[in-house]
Amino acid sequence: MPGLLTGKRVLIQGVANRFSLCAGIAASMAREGAELCLTYQNERLREGVEKCAETFPGSFTLPLDLQEDDQIARVAQKLTDRWGTLDGLVVGAAFARTEELEGEFIAVSRDGFHLALDVSCYGLIAMTRACRPLLVAAGGGSVLTLTYMASERVVPNYNVMAVAKGALETTVRYLANDLGPQNIRVNAISSGPVRTAAASGVKGVGGMIGEVADRSPLRRKTDRDQIGDVAAFLASDLARAITGEIVFADNGYHIMGV
């Protein structure tokens, strides 16, 4: 029986290792039949991403730093040469310096603010722009990114990353409006806290994970498999009427008050 994504080709940016949320997305999409390209930011991360790719038959890897426009262009060209079309794009990277995630938000540096917004928000714009011709050639497709509810509520130690996520969510809506006429959908998944390498930079993440397990309506932690399955659905034709949305996948925690 064919999977939800059989015959679809998807580029996934943001896999750091097999524990990352984007690795969970890759696993779910591969299970549903997608052909994958995974990117790695630098040589330090290359081996981990390549090992992850080896678990998904037919997948391959490419280098990509979201702050390097020439690398973004090269990835788009390589996909054009190899595939010619693209059905899905996942841009999952986010970054802020550790010192910008501590103490008072008012102390954020100008450089730190620019860096967080550049990687965590502008990267989605740059990648979507570069891949748009490939998505159009496929007759449309899905663009996905990852966010967190700190964009709407104050979460201790999230600081400048919360601002970046707020900008990212607004970007999702504007991109959805731009690209809708070309049958390209743009959505974000708002994940509950998950213990990943990226999350380790936020003090108290362990307590946040426990809080979700204790207080969410479904009384369980968020994990990468849950996020992967939501992403596979959003990238599939079953979600063809959904765009410009922030889809919460946190076991309902975001609905709780006190």
Q: In whole angstroms, what is the distance from residue 127 CA to residue 75 CA?
A: 9
Both tokens of 77, joined, read 């060209």
Both tokens of 119, joined, read 């990687």
Residues annotated catalytic, as ranges? 148, 158
How much is the CA Rg of the chain, to the nearest whole Å? 17
Listing DSSP states for 155-222 in one string gives: -TTTHHHHHHHHHHHHHHHHHHHHHGGGTEEEEEEEEPP---TTGGGSTTHHHHHHHHHHHSTT-S--
Sign of CA dihedral 192, 5, 13, 135: negative
Q: In whole angstroms, what is the distance from residue 109 CA to residue 31 CA?
A: 43
Both tokens of 246, joined, read 């922030």
Q: In whole angstroms, what is the distance from residue 232 CA to residue 87 CA?
A: 12
Nearest to 201 by CA among 135, 157, 165: 157
Q: In whole angstroms, what is the distance from residue 202 CA to residue 104 CA?
A: 14
Nearest to 167 by CA among 122, 128, 107, 203: 122
